[in-house]
Amino acid sequence: MASSYTEDPELAHRLRQMREQVRSQVGPRASRAGLPPYPSDAGLSEPAPLEQRLEELKPLAAVQEQPFRSRFPLLGPLIAWFRERWNRVSTKWYVLPILQQQVRFNLALVEALQELYRFTRQTSEDLLRRMDALFVPLDQEQAALQARVQDLRETLARQIQEQSQAQARVLAALEERLQRLSQEQALDRRGLAFLRQRLDGLMARLTPQGTLPPEERPAVAAERETLSDHDYFRFEAIYRPEEEVRAEQEAYLPFFAGRRNVLDLGCGKGEFLELLRDHGIPAYGVDWNVQMVQLCQEKGLRVVREDALHHLAGLPDRSLGGLFAAHLVEHLAPQDLTRLVALAQAKLEPGACLIFETPNPLCLWALVNYFYLDLSHVKPLHPQALAFLLEMHGFREIEVRYLHPVPEGVRLARLPEAGGTEWERIAALLNVNLDRLNDLLYGYADYAIIARR
């Protein structure tokens, strides 16, 4: 079965445009007068040679008597006189009436021809005028109708396009909403399963009387801590989409190239572990969040659920080929941070890299919008403080990389410096100040500190 016809608006538009292009090249037609003549018109509108010829014929119609002449020099006039006399006696009385009759006939004929010509010409011109009168309004009407039809077509096409766009927008919005709802539903389902599991754990620990034995209280408190940590999974899902994280962290790969046993502390959903795996770098992760660990394990990543410091402390010295911790250190209290750096120094093999990524407190906008958005953040870390800490623990080649510039639209706009000299000076001064404010308020949202053991 052949597929059925649906209009191809793009093609129709293209063909209409081709037509318009030729029309504009050829130009409009003013009236029928500008056209090549129809077969019936041929000669009718030409200048009238016939009329001229008839006019020329008129003097010839009156036939005149011719005087007798002779070419002999002396006797000539005498010969002519004799001929004239003889003619008057012998032939003139007979020929002259015939001649006059011929003249009358000639004149009548020429006049009749002229009259006939005038009638024919008048009728022809009348007909031409009538034909023009018929064609010109028809042409105009046709052109007006064509323009109207074209106009209607374009209006209709525009309306259809607008409707389609509106429909597409609604569909896209619905699609996005549906996707978000599906994600949230998946998160909720996962969270629900997790809560049920924890609740079962709690219930099992409770005595039948509903009281809690003193020795169980620490365990229950730990469970409660875990329950609150469940929200962090959801927070990350919304504010740190996996694709974005993976794209951003790709820049760190060269620091771990050729290394073995790289540890991603606080690996979260395992984006960096995936990158390392995809590039053939053996690595594993540690995270305390049960859901994160489950998710990583579902992805086939090697991840253990353990406290970061506890895990590090348990590793053999110089056993790690690298250490990576994105958005972890700001969750630690100062003493835990110091301990982390010390343990890292002990557990990394010589030459191995350590990378911490954390929000940048030098950017007030990021501080307000990022850092304080996350309830589990403990303390913002100044890059110099962190660099000092690493240096104090023997790390070298310390480098700070500022990441994620605040979008340009958020920054304060600079003033135009063109204009009068006085204005130029003021604008330049204000711009220097605006730049300083921009740097303070709207610099880089994050930074990474990179150091080598």
Partner 1 sequence: MRIAFFGPLRPVPSGISDYCEELLPYLAQEAEIALFVDGYEPTNLLIRRQFPIHDYREFPQQHQAHPFDLCLYHMGNHICHAYIYETLQRYPGVVVLHDTVLHHFLGEYLPREGGLAAFLTAFPDEEGRSLLRRRRAGLWSHLDHFLYPGIGPVVRASRGIIVHSETARQAVLRAVPTARVAVIPHHLGPQRSPYAHLPQEEVKRRLGYRPEHWLIISPGIVTPSRRIETLLRVFADLLREVPQARCAIVGPDHPAVRVADRVHEAHLDGLVRVTGFVDVPTFQSYLLAADVVVNLRYPLAGETSGGLIRALGAGKPVIVSNVGQYAEFPDDVCLKADVGHAEEAMVSFFLHALARDPALGRRIAEQARRYIGDFHSLEGSARAYLEFCREVLSSPVPTPAEPPLGPEGDVRAVIGHIREEAARRAQEGAPWQAAGTGAIQPS
One-letter amino acid identity for 443?
A: G
- By beta-carbon proximity to partner 1, the closer residue of 52 and 150 is 150
Smallest CA-to-CA distance from 325 within 240, 382, 268, 250 is with: 268
Rounded Cα gap, residues 411 and 441, in angstroms: 8
- By beta-carbon proximity to partner 1, the closer residue of 28 and 59 is 28
State residue 171 phi and psi, 5-degree precision: -60, -45
Quote the tokens at residue 309: 């410091």
Distances (CA, A) of 175 to 206, 239, 408: 45, 20, 29
**Which DSSP symbol is given to 150?**
H
Shortest distance, CB of residue 32 to partner 1, whole angstroms? Answer: 10
Shortest distance, CB of residue 270 to partner 1, whole angstroms? Answer: 49
State residue 325 phi and psi, 5-degree precision: -145, 105
Shortest distance, CB of residue 77 to partner 1, whole angstroms? Answer: 56
- By beta-carbon proximity to partner 1, the closer residue of 25 and 421 is 25
Number of helices and strands in the chain (H, E):
13, 7
Q: Within 13 A of 124's CA, how many CA atoms are on the CB side? A: 14
Instruction: For residue 370, give every residue at least 6 positions away whose Cβ sits within 8 Å of its Cβ, in sequence order, or none.
Output: 359, 445, 446
Shortest distance, CB of residue 104 to partner 1, whole angstroms? Answer: 24
- By beta-carbon proximity to partner 1, the closer residue of 9 and 419 is 9
- By beta-carbon proximity to partner 1, the closer residue of 111 and 176 is 111
User: In angstroms, how far is CA 377 from the centroid of its own chain?
Assistant: 40
Rounded Cα gap, residues 256 and 416, in angstroms: 46
Shortest distance, CB of residue 146 to partner 1, whole angstroms? Answer: 8
Please give the order of strands across the beta sheet that includes 444-452: 303-305, 283-287, 262-265, 320-326, 348-359, 444-452, 396-405
- By beta-carbon proximity to partner 1, the closer residue of 19 and 224 is 19
- By beta-carbon proximity to partner 1, the closer residue of 39 and 350 is 39
Radius of gyration over every alpha carbon of the chain, rounded to an integer in angstroms:
53
Rounded Cα gap, residues 138 and 25, in angstroms: 23
- By beta-carbon proximity to partner 1, the closer residue of 40 and 164 is 40
Q: What is the DSSP string of 182-212?
A: HHHHHHHHHHHHHHHHHHHHHHHHS-TTS--
Q: Within 13 A of 116's CA, how many CA atoms are on the CB side? A: 8
Instruction: For residue 239, give every residue at least 6 positions away whose Cβ sits within 8 Å of its Cβ, in sequence order, or none.
Output: 373
- By beta-carbon proximity to partner 1, the closer residue of 14 and 180 is 14
Shortest distance, CB of residue 23 to partner 1, whole angstroms? Answer: 6
Binding site for partner 1 (CB under 8 A): 2-9, 11-16, 18-19, 21-23, 25-26, 29, 34-35, 38-41, 120, 123-124, 127, 131, 134, 139, 153
Shortest distance, CB of residue 128 to partner 1, whole angstroms? Answer: 10
Shortest distance, CB of residue 126 to partner 1, whole angstroms? Answer: 9
- By beta-carbon proximity to partner 1, the closer residue of 15 and 410 is 15
Shortest distance, CB of residue 135 to partner 1, whole angstroms? Answer: 9
Shortest distance, CB of residue 138 to partner 1, whole angstroms? Answer: 10
**Which DSSP symbol is given to 177?**
H
